[in-house]
Structure formats: C-alpha cells, structure tokens
Amino acid sequence: MENDVVLEVKGLNLFNRAGDRLVENVSLSLRAGETLGLVGESGSGKTLTLKSLIGLLPPGVSETHESRLDNPNCAMIFQNPLSALDPLCPVFRQLCEVIAARQGADAQTARARASQLLSRLSLPEELAVRDRFPGSLSGGQCQRLLIAMALACRPDVLLCDEPTTALDVTVQKQTIELIRSLQRELGFAIVFVTHNLAVAAQLCERLAVMRQGRVIESGPTREVLTSPREEYTRTLIGAVLPVPEMEA
C-alpha cells in the first residue's frame, strides 16, 4: 500500500565518545514511494542521521532512540562517488559483485543484469567488454555507477547523501531527473540529504529542516518553502540565488 510506513525513527539521539550530543530528538517517518528531504547547512546532522538509518554510523558515535522501524532493504548513494567506489577494482566488476551478493545471481546472470543497468543509466556499454577503473571515468559517470549499484540492491528505500553536490549543474539536473524517473517506475521511497533548497524543491514531497542536530521545521515542501515558520528556514530560502533578469 502506498501509505505504508517503510522506515521510521522516533526520538533519535547520537553522541560522540565524549558524550556530546550530535543529533537531538530527531523523529522521521517515510511512506512507500515518498521522497523526504533533509535540508540544512553543513554540520547540521543530516548525514549522521542518514547513516543511522542504514546502520553505518562512524566509529565512536553511539545512538539512543525511543522506537525504530528499520527496513532491511535499504541502499545508499554516497556524496563522493570516487571515495565510495573501490579504486583498485574495475567498475563493471564491482557492479557485478553487488548483483551477485544482493540478488543471489550466478556470474553469467550478474553480468547480463549489470549490462542492462549500464544501458539504463546511459553508461558506456563497452565497460562490459573493456572494464575500467573509477579514476578513468568522469564524476558524473561514477555517480551513475553508484546509482546503478544502489538499484542493483532492488531497494524499498533509497538513501541519498548529497549525490549531486560534486557535479556540474548540467549533470546535476540530469541526475535528479534520472532518480525521479527511476522512482516513478520502481516505486522505492527516498530520503534525500541536501543543503540546496532548489534541488529539494524539485525532488521532495516533504522537507525536514535541520539545524545544530535538531529538526526545527518539517512539513509538505510547498508549505515549508512558501510559509516558513522559522527564521533559519527563511535564511536558507533567501540563500537560493535567483537567475538575474538581463537587459535587452
């Protein structure tokens, strides 16, 4: 059912080794097929919250919560594709390994499905024949490979950690459109972390605004952007640069 909750946490708190609170009393809920945006400036706790949802907290960070509904079928697109890919392993081989591990496919089936994903994501199909290392591909191609690997997990929930930040504006737009198209077709839910409200407005149905480890405002995207309650939210909206009007 579309209204089924597929991921939820209530009263999430994250601490470092010294006991300092990094994230305070965060509650999030995600329905099937929905896109939730976590927005805020760098250091506001967005990425740590996302890593908690998938169980990838850094060493030394501990967690408490009131309740959780985890989803075992999550996949994540990381912010820096070059650091997320194994630099010593050719990319097509990496994709095949993900398919074999997550889908239980044999080597031949994994290669066939990996080739289909290359085509689907407009990646060079020659990679299936002449594999290449991540360092020889562009940032946009590496990001699409991460998307391919995430889709190879056949997720119910796709967690996106600022996946367009390092891309130029043209590739950024293409990547957002690609994620939206795949979501419509495959029906997975998305938690999208970004500091860019313009990106969030294009992609997300609901927003949660984070500041200093807390969610200070949340609601439908249109409501948050047109009638913000918090001064910090208004500051974020004001920081979006408009396209200047040019004289004839």
What pLDDT shows up at residue 2? 45
Tens digits of residue pLDDT in 77-113: 988 888 889 999 999 999 999 999 999 999 999 999 9
Q: What is the pTM of this model?
A: 0.89
Average pLDDT of the chain to the nearest whole number: 91
Q: Do residues 162 and 203 touch, judged by C-beta distance below 8 A?
A: no
What pLDDT shows up at residue 168? 76
Q: Cα(139)–Cα(52) distance, rounded to whole angstroms?
A: 26
Between residues 82 and 208, which one has the greater pLDDT? 208
